[in-house]
Every structure is written in structure tokens, then in C-alpha cells.
């Protein structure tokens, strides 16, 4: 096809494509086929699956971390969003039963000033007796 035989310009085709997408979204919205919820109790945070990690088993996982974090919430494992702190959900199994979690006790941490020898000289028990 020669250059002078074009019937429509590229700009016109792009505008028609954008108008078609906009018209489709507006039609679906007015028909009620696109659902929006403001009630965060009904929002599904994500879909998960377990990866078995047994002895001598290799597992593949993406090296990039997700934008979610897990924490214990009233004894159940909850998943929260890193981007929206108000979005949090309890992890459930296929029968909608909560997944229990336990928080492992943390080892006691030594204060940094107590670990230095200078700090122990000032806190020591010099009771005033000399030999």
C-alpha cells in the first residue's frame, strides 16, 4: 500500500481505540457489571498457596519479595499489605477456618552500654571496703 493510499491517519486510529475502551468501561459501569466495594471486610487481600519444603526437596520461589507481610492477630495468621496499612486479613483454609500461629519467644537482648567494660565499672558493687 502506497503512502498516499491511506484512508485513516494513525492519530485517528489511536483516538478511536481509546474511545472504544472508554465506551466499554462506561457501559459496563452503568450496567452494574463492575463492582466497587468500600467495605474492606469483603475485600480479598490475596490468593495464596503453600510450597512444600521438606528434606532433600528443592522448591522454587521468586527472589523478589511480595508487598505483603504476615503477623499473628489474636492467635491467627494475618496477612497485611505493605502499601495500605488498613488492609489486613486473616489467612483461612478452603473451609474458611483460621490458620493458627504462635509467636516464638525472642531471646533477651543485652543493652549495648551494659556490654562495655566502662559501664560495668560504674555499676559494680564497690561497697567502700578496701583491703
24-79 pLDDT per residue, tens: 999 999 998 888 777 766 666 667 777 777 787 777 788 898 888 888 888 899 88
CA dihedral for 118, 122, 127, 129, sign (positive or negative): positive
Residue 77, H or E segment: strand 76-81
Contacts of 43 (CB under 8 A, 6+ apart): 37, 87, 89
Res. 122: pLDDT tops 60: no
Q: How does DSSP classify residue 15?
A: H
Q: Which three cell numbers stand for residue 48?
A: 495464596
Q: How many CA atoms lie within 13 A of 52 on its CB side?
A: 4
Closest by CA to 92, choosing from 39, 37, 44, is 44
If one counts every other C-beta atom within 10 angstroms of the C-beta of residue 101, the result is: 17
pTM: predicted TM-score of the whole model, two decimal places = 0.43
Closest by CA to 92, choosing from 76, 81, 80, 103, is 76
Q: What pLDDT score does 119 carry?
A: 47
Judge contact between 98 and 76, C-beta under 8 A: yes
Q: What is the mean pLDDT of residues 110-125?
A: 54
Amino acid at each position: 500500500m502506497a503512502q498516499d493510499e491511506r484512508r485513516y491517519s494513525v492519530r485517528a486510529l489511536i483516538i478511536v481505540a481509546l474511545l472504544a475502551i472508554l465506551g466499554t468501561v462506561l457501559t459496563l459501569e452503568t450496567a452494574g457489571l463492575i463492582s466497587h466495594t468500600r467495605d474492606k471486610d469483603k475485600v480479598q487481600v490475596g490468593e495464596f498457596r503453600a510450597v512444600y519444603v521438606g528434606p532433600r526437596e528443592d522448591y522454587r520461589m521468586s527472589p523478589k519479595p511480595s508487598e505483603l507481610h504476615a503477623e499473628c492477630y489474636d492467635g491467627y495468621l494475618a496477612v497485611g499489605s505493605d502499601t495500605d496499612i488498613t488492609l489486613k486479613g486473616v489467612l483461612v483454609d478452603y473451609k474458611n477456618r483460621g490458620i493458627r500461629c504462635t509467636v516464638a519467644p525472642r531471646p533477651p537482648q543485652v543493652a549495648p552500654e551494659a556490654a562495655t567494660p566502662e559501664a560495668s565499672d560504674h555499676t559494680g558493687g564497690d561497697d567502700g571496703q578496701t583491703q
